[in-house]
Amino acid sequence: MSVVSAVKRANPAVVSIVITKDVPVLEQYYDNNSSFHDFFGGGLFGGFNFQIPQYRENGTEKKEVGGGSGFLVSQDGLIITNKHVVEDPNAEYTVFLGNGSEDKYEAKVLARDPVLDIAVLKIEGTEDFPFLEFDDSDHLELGQSVIAIGNALGEFRNSVSVGVVSGLSRSIVAGDGRGGSEQLDEVVQTDAAINPGNSGGPLLDLQGKVIGVNVAVANGSQNIGFALPVNLLKGVIESVQKDGKIVRPFLGVRFVPVTKELKEANKLSVDYGVLIIRGENRTELPIVPGSPADKAGLEENDIILEADGQKLDETRSLPTLLRKKNVGDTLKLKILHKGSEKELDVKLEAIPE
């Protein structure tokens, strides 16, 4: 399928998200009791009546404060976008479809993912909505052609850019533009133009199927954008459809990655895995009481070497493996406990609310 055909197929299900909020209305006034004249007296400025403008709040007004992108994933109006696009609980979110009409829908935020930069919205309509299908992001290849669609700069709806898969399984620290940041693992790198406002839009293959969610762009660079692989979304959607919220499994340990430097500094016997350790504060326990890790018998200073047979090192992190599991799944761990290797089965539970 050509780029044009893929865009025609996908475009109706790509949405623009407009963020509005009640903001203060400031009015200017002049204080006739200003101390300016009193301060200077009638000397140098004698004969002149200076008034200093003042400002005060006079109610509020609804104002557009931002925008983003998203895409429909079900005919009943479920929409995927980035969590940072809809993170303000006091804002209102309006959705415009990509069919060229000016029809707008008030969107309700159903769930914000506690782990990934993903959120699920819901709109209501009298007819079935168009929606996008998912491809298998585990089978992406370097150089594969991709298409990004989104609300570029929060102004140009359903803008299309084309590029290739430039990298796979990247790890980046993404900022939200407001001082916050988060670690993103196994993201897809692309040279398709991704701009502010494109966040939450789909990254598509030439079949018009979703292979990723546009999530970040490298500041100070050209043609370096990143997308969350779509396979991470499948459990999110199933969870919302089943439970009305995003349910994530957790292990319940605090840890640091074991590196060569950490091994040498602490005379450890291995230079990979994760070391279970308490935080800087006394309240930051190494293992959450009553958690799956606690029930399985994990202890402080244990080193988790493998999870489900996969070695934990700089190319494969424990959080990444956990994201692929569901609540109720069993995670098989190989650990180093007081110098001896042992294996444990841990039954994962939902992150406490």
pLDDT digits (tens, 9 = 90+) for 72-114: 999 999 999 999 899 899 999 999 998 777 788 999 999 998 7
Whole-number Å distance between alpha carbons of 22 and 278: 43
- The residue ranking higher by pLDDT, 319 or 42, is 319
- The mean pLDDT of 49-57, rounded to a whole number, is 71
- Count of alpha carbons within 13 angstroms of residue 280, beta-carbon side: 0
Residue 336 belongs to a domain: yes
Q: List residues with catalytic annotation.
A: 84, 117, 199
Q: What is the pLDDT of residue 310?
A: 93
Cα–Cα distance list, 270 to 56, 254, 307 (Å): 64, 19, 16
Residue 255: CATH number of its domain: 2.30.42.10
Q: Where are the beta strands (DSSP E) in 191-322?
A: 202-204, 210-217, 225-229, 249-250, 255-257, 274-276, 303-307, 310-311
Whole-number Å distance between alpha carbons of 302 and 338: 7
* 177 and 203 belong to one structural domain: yes
- The residue ranking higher by pLDDT, 196 or 119, is 119
Residue 86 belongs to a domain: yes
* 214 and 198 belong to one structural domain: yes
- The mean pLDDT of 279-300, rounded to a whole number, is 92
140, 186 contact by CB (below 8 A) = no
Residue 52 belongs to a domain: no
Q: What mean pLDDT value characterizes the chain?
A: 85
Quickly state the pLDDT bin for 314 (edges 50, 70, 90): confident
Structure-block tokens of residue 326: 């569901």
Its pTM stands at 0.76
283, 340 contact by CB (below 8 A) = no
Q: Which domain-ending residue is among 243, 264, 287?
A: 243
* 75 and 146 belong to one structural domain: no
* 113 and 184 belong to one structural domain: no
Residue 173 belongs to a domain: yes
Q: For 163-176, give the DSSP string.
A: EEEEEEEEEEEEE-
Q: What is the pLDDT of residue 49?
A: 59
Residue 36 in this model has a pLDDT that exceeds 60: no
198, 104 contact by CB (below 8 A) = no
Residue 291 belongs to a domain: yes
Residue 187 in this model has a pLDDT that exceeds 70: yes
Q: What is the pLDDT of residue 289?
A: 94
Residue 233: CATH number of its domain: 2.40.10.10
Whole-number Å distance between alpha carbons of 334 and 337: 10
The predicted-structure confidence for 198-252, as pLDDT tens digits, reads as follows: 889 999 999 999 999 998 776 655 678 889 999 888 888 888 988 888 888 899 9
* 286 and 314 belong to one structural domain: yes
Residue 129 belongs to a domain: no
Residue 34 belongs to a domain: no
Q: Where are the beta strands (DSSP E) in 102-209?
A: 104-112, 119-122, 145-152, 156-175, 181-190, 202-204
Quickly state the pLDDT bin for 334 (edges 50, 70, 90): very high
* 158: region left, alpha or beta (phi > 0 left; psi from -120 to 50 alpha): left
DSSP class of residue 12 equals: G
Other beta carbons within 10 Å of 230: 27
* 282 and 300 belong to one structural domain: yes
Phi, psi of 304 (to 5 degrees): -80, 115
Whole-number Å distance between alpha carbons of 273 and 296: 18
Whole-number Å distance between alpha carbons of 208 and 139: 16
Residue 275 belongs to a domain: yes
* 79 and 173 belong to one structural domain: no
* 254 and 292 belong to one structural domain: yes
131, 75 contact by CB (below 8 A) = yes
Into how many domains does the chain fold? 3
Domain residues for the domain of 161 are 137-243
